[in-house]
Amino acid sequence: MRPSFRPKLEPLEGRDVPSTLTHSQVHVLINRHQLQAAQVQAEITLDRRELVVLQQAGAQSPRTGPAAAHLRADISADRVALQKLGRLVGLLSRLDAVQDTELMLGPAANQTQLRALQRRDAALQHQVAAFM
């Protein structure tokens, strides 16, 4: 069995997450987590193919059972990681959209619009920090 390259989600507990993410930090985080999601999806695809091969060979060798069980567990864990990455990228994308709007409106925004955008920005920043 090949050694598994399994990208892990960075351990985020206890990690210093800035209280305010700049627009460029949001873009970096979106890109990083999209790349991680693509890597996890590729690993799921490879594990599924390997599982099919093991299942086909299973009738010929009783030793494939533990390896197949291990692959199924890996696939399940990776699906959970992929869902978490998807939710995080979604939150970050919403935050990016709010920040884009703030930047585009800039001085043209009235105080009410600006305060509403800032509240949405702060709420999304809080959600991202809590998620991470």
* Domain span holding position 99: 23-131
Measured CA to CA in angstroms, residue 9 lies from 35, 39, 128 at distances of 11, 11, 15
- Structural domain tally of the chain? 1
pLDDT at 64: 79
Residues 6+ apart with CB under 8 A from 87: 131
For residue 99, which of 113, 127, 118, 85 has the smallest C-alpha distance? 118
Residue 70 in any domain: the answer is yes
Residue 33 in any domain: the answer is yes
Residue 89 in any domain: the answer is yes
* pLDDT tens, residue by residue, 59-108: 667 777 888 899 999 999 999 999 999 999 999 999 999 999 988 887 78
Residue 124 in any domain: the answer is yes
Residue 46 in any domain: the answer is yes
pTM: 0.76
| Burial tier of 117 (Cβ tally within 10 Å: 0-12, 13-18, 19+) | middle
